[in-house]
Structure 1
């Protein structure tokens, strides 16, 4: 199955959580909103070539037929999404006394309140634009909510400008709660679009409003900066970001009540083919419905709050570095707290014997204690090196700002290797001890972001292993000055050796299987799209290697195809937390067993166009823990798992509501 279709199929699996009646109601809404957010990103990042192909009826790598097929599949997914919203979630909310009331449903008192709020808080921010030669179509930002209005009659100068545009400011909330005094026993809410639509005549004095509908345009957000053609990447990216909101249009969403006339007007304005028009029976931006979750404020309609435990290997009253000197530490997030990593950095910042801190920055968020700590370390006289990935998609602005802030206080800031994203996650602390120096390292499958660390499953590895930390230091030196290829002993680095190492392990398994020896492979990854590694997996499986792939998202390897991939099984786990850890297990013969953790998915970009790391887990107890918690538990999941079929489709696990769920089991394990 092509990668783009795999991505849409993944969102179908996410949407299943919005269908499940064993999931709390507000959480079901959250999953529906997640699907909309994922679709936004899909169109922003991946749809532009297909839209161009459909528009021009092009042939080639991106051809019109493939583009049309993809758009039809997206249209079908959106149709089922809104059917679920209208036919299942809305009735469930109504039964719970929660309603978003339209103008015609409001009582006189409610209409009076809404009108007063419109006059005080909304109307002053609206600037309706009636289109004519002196008032061209206004710039419409990516994913912003707007209204297109059809007018009757002439303006003050007698001109019959028929179409007007009203932008709804992003600063305004999309939903507002009506006061309890006029809501009766229910919890009632008003949408911004409904409020504006009800009072449009007040924006167009003397004109008759014939039609008014919401619309939203999604734009291509890929940045076009070529690193090897600019002198200052940070400045070039900052300039390019200013235009991101107004890139090529790739999708137009309108209310299903929109007339062909207005739809055609918008399609022409945004230069889109008719197939890129999505008519939706409801809010054109389901993402913003997530505001309802906070407004309702009903804990009983949410998952029970999860409180991660302090890492079991660490004593909370003892210094983290002191404990690292005794043993390697593994932290399984979000079941265990990421705050232990922050505590390690806090210790390093305030420890007078720590002389240097090196850190990769991919996604930390606009507000970050970790980044503040790095700045404080500089001010306390420590050498700080930050490898900031400026091209981390949708985090570019935050990372540019962090680079500015760190440089301002004297940190050494570098941007990695030209043409490659630095996706590796590592923190290296150098401490003066006795007559020498000792390094303390942190390697992770996930980002240094405390918010996502509460939502994503990831593994953090704390180590003082002198060989492993020396390798980390060599990688940092390479990122600062990539003159020569780093010589590494335990770390495996992309783009140099990661793909080759994975192929070598698969080849060893294949040869063992051909001899009739034991051969086993289990890969846990977020995606499986690298053609080279897929071919190696197919060859290994054909030779008799037993292969299980636990792939959350896109998987282009068709399993269980008779005579080809009979020995390969693929499953996807969709749960309360986003599966994000990468674990690679290879075993062959009686003495060869390799377990690696990694920042990389099995995608071509991760293997050939990014700086990624994989590293071995060699301590027996930690190895067994990773195998038990990240592989065995997921292979036995018959509640939240989806099993991929030979045709690329997925079927739910045997017991979707009553079976064993890996995440549930881990929560029980760590919550005890």
Structure 2
């Protein structure tokens, strides 16, 4: 299909990701969302942009500076992409500060949450804050006067800093006129004003940056502080580890983590009132261009406001709590192994409790018939109950093997520490396969029953992370199916040993069979559509960015296959083009929960086939990672997933439609009853099923 080679038919990955970040920011403007949750969405949009610059912009800059001028499928070279990214990113940042200053701060003030500016402190507050500064802040600050003996310091990635203009001379007769003050990360982002000196009801806070700014002259005794401005630098944070040349991957990554704080500069954020000569001075020091410069009307790191949410913690301004479901099947049997033996159990987190997965490991640790546990860990969080259960199993004499992915971005340090902790108790720890991230979510329990080993398996679409399992949506399958158990064992064997690729009976695996299988399943729908049979594809994923799959979907659309895609973030495909993609609809759901499920449904001539996977439809997932896709064998489970995905397609509260020009439109159907898929599933009610 030659016309599919047209670059106008593919959206740029980074620009598409920016559109997702903008949708997250839109939640902060949404008056139907509780007020503190809106503030949280603003903070999330800020951290999202941080990571975007650290990784995506950092990578593009590396390519551009290396002289790479090759265009992607969208026709954009790194240089052109960076120019377009800068325009869109500046628009989003302007919206962030508009949201803070014109919307959230006034509404928070009405609800008794006041962030006090320096000029509004009462005498009592001023005195208290000065004492606080002298006792808690001043001893931690180390100002650096700029002169030949004190060159411009190395600035930590994303740290809060001040550039200070001074007049007068110090004890040695020196004054270059400038100094740098770095704010230690040990200090809180905001300080709560004690109730006895509050001048209004409710909560009153002051930014740490305001306190340091106000009392900056305490750092330069006998000199005059003429001006003081916040700034923050974002650096390229991608790690480079030559896995072919290193003999110890863990030690190599530990070494690289130090340099993440001092990578190349990719963004400079400055106080809006910073004068041009100061802006020019900092821009030259950090070697950034005008498009990398972001002047902001407020704190240079909006994520500092997260502490306000935690300190206020007012239920009336937060989402109401919800109860977690435990499948009835698990309550009918004495132990979890009997329940799984009876029938596969499908879990949809957080609607179904993640404690079920934890309980499987806990019972396996205590069960005298269990002889071995194998598990992959990509992200699991500090002090994880999963880790505690694995440690308990090892101490109970079980053979425990854990495959830890050390290169899980921004969790590398935690995973290195985790590997050391597990090895200390005798757990076999391996780091997967050189050159491929291990992203599969697998747990295997080997149990001796009637003198034979039986495998109990958990396969999932998300990480073994109990905290994120409460806010991320993910599917998980508990099964004692023989073929799946043997396949999971074979994949673990690949990861821990050496040998040729094993042929899997039930599972799909990247980088070997998953991509080809998905292409074949789409081809089957094309064949059915051309034969006049019912044909549809209903798929949900985090990201869609793999040209061969996109081209195959275009081909399916032209053949008459109805294609409904629920893609949370990056989406390469351009829907709604007459004669090419007019049978393709793309929706994005952005709401209370982070949509993280990967589920792929194919009509199969009225006998639907459903596959869940740890993988998105992205090049990296298909070819550069170890991933697993698992079929949903029970009809009732397939029906449940299809009905839940159709509910997402019917959502008219949190849904956005991807337009042919790459923009997203919020779905609005004022004449119809509101349908919020997440809220309905939290309530255990799916009208798609009940209708």
Provide the TM-score with structure 1 as the length reference. 0.97
Structure 2 residue 273 is the aligned partner of structure 1 residue 257: yes
Between 609-618 and 655-664, the greater mean CA deviation after superposition: 655-664
For residues 402-417 of structure 1, the aligned pairs below 5 Å read 402-417=418-433
- CA 1:119–1:391 in structure 2 vs 1: closer, same or farther (change >3 Å)? same
- CA 1:660–1:671 in structure 2 vs 1: closer, same or farther (change >3 Å)? closer
Structure 2 residue 24 is the aligned partner of structure 1 residue 20: no
Equivalent residues of 1:547, 1:567 under 8 A apart = yes
Equivalent residues of 2:58, 2:238 under 8 A apart = no
Which of 606, 610, 618 aligns to 2:633? It is 618
Structure 2 residue 13 is the aligned partner of structure 1 residue 3: yes
- CA 1:52–1:484 in structure 2 vs 1: closer, same or farther (change >3 Å)? closer
- CA 1:495–1:133 in structure 2 vs 1: closer, same or farther (change >3 Å)? same
- CA 1:148–1:658 in structure 2 vs 1: closer, same or farther (change >3 Å)? farther
Structure 2 residue 651 is the aligned partner of structure 1 residue 641: no
Structure 2 residue 449 is the aligned partner of structure 1 residue 439: no
Unaligned 5+ runs, structure 2: 1-10, 72-76
Counterpart position of 2:530: 514
Once residues 467 and 188 of structure 1 are traced to their aligned partners in structure 2, the CA distance between those partners, rounded to angstroms, is 60
Which of 661, 669, 676 aligns to 1:655? It is 669
Q: Deviations over 1:563-591 (max 9, x none)?
A: 1101111000111000001100112335x
Counterpart position of 2:84: 69
For residues 391-540 of structure 1, the aligned pairs below 5 Å read 391-540=407-556
CA apart distance, 1:298: 1.2
Structure 2 residue 174 is the aligned partner of structure 1 residue 159: yes
CA RMSD of aligned residues (A): 1.7
Look up the SS of the partner of 1:75 in the other structure. helix
For residues 15-94 of structure 1, the aligned pairs below 5 Å read 15-51=25-61, 59-61=69-71, 62-94=77-109
Q: Deviations over 1:146-196 (max 9, x none)?
A: 111111223322233121111111111111111111113332111101101
Once residues 306 and 669 of structure 1 are traced to their aligned partners in structure 2, the CA distance between those partners, rounded to angstroms, is 11
CA apart distance, 1:383: 0.7
Q: Deviations over 1:14-56 (max 9, x none)?
A: 1111111111110000000000010011011111244467889
Between 32-41 and 475-484, the greater mean CA deviation after superposition: 475-484
Counterpart position of 2:185: 170
Number of aligned pairs?
670
Equivalent residues of 1:336, 1:670 under 8 A apart = no
Look up the SS of the partner of 1:340 in the other structure. helix
Equivalent residues of 1:216, 1:254 under 8 A apart = yes
Once residues 566 and 212 of structure 2 are traced to their aligned partners in structure 1, the CA distance between those partners, rounded to angstroms, is 47
Which of 583, 587, 594 aligns to 1:571? It is 587
Equivalent residues of 1:386, 1:411 under 8 A apart = yes
Once residues 318 and 360 of structure 1 are traced to their aligned partners in structure 2, the CA distance between those partners, rounded to angstroms, is 27
Equivalent residues of 1:379, 1:409 under 8 A apart = yes
Equivalent residues of 1:155, 1:161 under 8 A apart = no
Once residues 415 and 57 of structure 1 are traced to their aligned partners in structure 2, the CA distance between those partners, rounded to angstroms, is 33
Counterpart position of 2:356: 340
Equivalent residues of 1:428, 1:441 under 8 A apart = yes
Equivalent residues of 2:332, 2:339 under 8 A apart = no
- CA 1:658–1:167 in structure 2 vs 1: closer, same or farther (change >3 Å)? farther
Structure 2 residue 346 is the aligned partner of structure 1 residue 330: yes
Unaligned 5+ runs, structure 1: none
Once residues 178 and 552 of structure 1 are traced to their aligned partners in structure 2, the CA distance between those partners, rounded to angstroms, is 40
Q: Deviations over 1:236-290 (max 9, x none)?
A: 0111112111111111111101111222221112121121111000011001111
Once residues 364 and 482 of structure 1 are traced to their aligned partners in structure 2, the CA distance between those partners, rounded to angstroms, is 26
Once residues 328 and 474 of structure 2 are traced to their aligned partners in structure 1, the CA distance between those partners, rounded to angstroms, is 16
- CA 1:419–1:51 in structure 2 vs 1: closer, same or farther (change >3 Å)? closer
Counterpart position of 1:120: 135
For residues 99-114 of structure 1, the aligned pairs below 5 Å read 99-114=114-129
Counterpart position of 2:322: 306
Structure 2 residue 363 is the aligned partner of structure 1 residue 364: no
CA apart distance, 1:296: 1.5
Once residues 410 and 504 of structure 1 are traced to their aligned partners in structure 2, the CA distance between those partners, rounded to angstroms, is 43
Equivalent residues of 2:379, 2:463 under 8 A apart = yes
Once residues 249 and 65 of structure 2 are traced to their aligned partners in structure 1, the CA distance between those partners, rounded to angstroms, is 33
Between 374-383 and 26-35, the greater mean CA deviation after superposition: 374-383
